[in-house]
Structure 1
């Protein structure tokens, strides 16, 4: 019995480590990416700023994390 054929990936998402989330989101917005989701952890002292974001572009997606 042979192994089933491999399933090709439908998309690939880059995970980008950033030091300034607001600045990074503004930069990628100017490149045409749209903000789709964010995560703000409970009980932190980061003034409600997200520590993770999902950006969607026409040809690529990106995740950002601090």
Structure 2
């Protein structure tokens, strides 16, 4: 086999290994991002519940103020 062919095969193999390593790193990054997005959904749900409780509390406060004003 000519040396040039062996060198070309080695270069192609190195390129393929480099590409596979980069693809693996991108996949790992995307997996971490998906896990982070799952956490974001849970946090958003908790915030929605907290906002609902705050709205209910605000409604009660407004009702009390309306009753106080009506008595005056």
Q: TM-score per shorter chain, which class?
A: under 0.3
Instruction: Judging by fraction of residues, say which structure has more helix.
Output: 2
Q: Rg bigger for which structure?
A: 2
